[in-house]
Amino acid sequence: MSRESHLELKVGSFVLLALIGLSYFMFSVSNLSLFEKGRALQAVFGFANGLKEAAPVRLAGVEAGLVKKMEVFTDDNDNKRTKVSVTMWIKQGVEIPVDSKVTINQLGLLGEKYVEIMPGTSTEFFKDGAVIVGHDPVPMEKLSERVNALTDKLETTIDNINKGQGTIGKFLTDESIYRNLDELTADLKANPWKLLYRPKK
């Protein structure tokens, strides 16, 4: 065998091993085997919140499949609203009750998005090809608006307390309340029997 042929054989072997390794990695990440059986379910959302294909599908917090395909479409039955169709591959043997809640969740603050299925209590289960109406996640913008509104209310409450407004504000700023409490404490120290005294009816 010539030197060039030997080099070509090495390069070819390296490329073949790299392709095998890449294929193994892709199937390991997706948790999907060429020979693994399962079924397809479709979830429809009004907002996908950054969900991507190959994202995990979890049932009661346990991985049960993955997102195979995502498509944007116009729903003619809902005033032509723009929606997202999420096709999910579900592992064989995993049963999902028909009253389950399907939404899009996130692992931690900056983690990947995934489909979360909270199982219901029904004894009927979704069959292959079933279409599920998903519960839309709250967009980050709306969460920020709610946090800002809550912060504004908290600042207003603290400001009112500092001004002596409201029950808590009066309690913290009215000196007569402190004097009455001091007098009551002093009286109870001098006459502890009053704590046990119960007037006759």
Average pLDDT over residues 168-174: 65
Same domain membership, residue 75 and residue 21: no
Same domain membership, residue 122 and residue 46: yes
* Residue 201 forms part of a structural domain: no
The percentage of the chain sitting over the pLDDT mark of 70, rounded to a whole number, equals 71
Same domain membership, residue 70 and residue 101: yes
**pLDDT band at 188; cut points 50, 70, 90:** confident
**pLDDT band at 154; cut points 50, 70, 90:** confident
* Residue 200 forms part of a structural domain: no
Instruction: At 103, list the tokens.
Output: 């939404």
Q: Are 71 and 84 in contact (CB under 8 A)?
A: yes
* Residue 53 forms part of a structural domain: yes
* Residue 183 forms part of a structural domain: yes
* Residue 60 forms part of a structural domain: yes
Same domain membership, residue 117 and residue 48: yes
Same domain membership, residue 11 and residue 52: no
Same domain membership, residue 133 and residue 40: yes
Domain coverage including residue 186: 142-195
Instruction: At 197, list the tokens.
Output: 């005294």
How many domains is the chain partitioned into structurally?
3
Same domain membership, residue 66 and residue 24: no
Q: Are 129 and 38 in contact (CB under 8 A)?
A: no
Indicate whether this model's pTM tops 0.85: no
Query: Does residue 155 carry a pLDDT above 70?
Result: yes
Q: Which amino acid is at 188?
A: L
**pLDDT band at 20; cut points 50, 70, 90:** confident
* Residue 83 forms part of a structural domain: yes
* Residue 101 forms part of a structural domain: yes
Same domain membership, residue 117 and residue 64: yes
Distance CA 115, CA 84 (A): 13
Scored b (16 or more CB within 10 A) or e, 19-57 reads eeeeeeeeeeebbbeeeeebbebbbbbeebbebeeebbb
Query: Bigger pLDDT: 79 or 201?
Result: 79
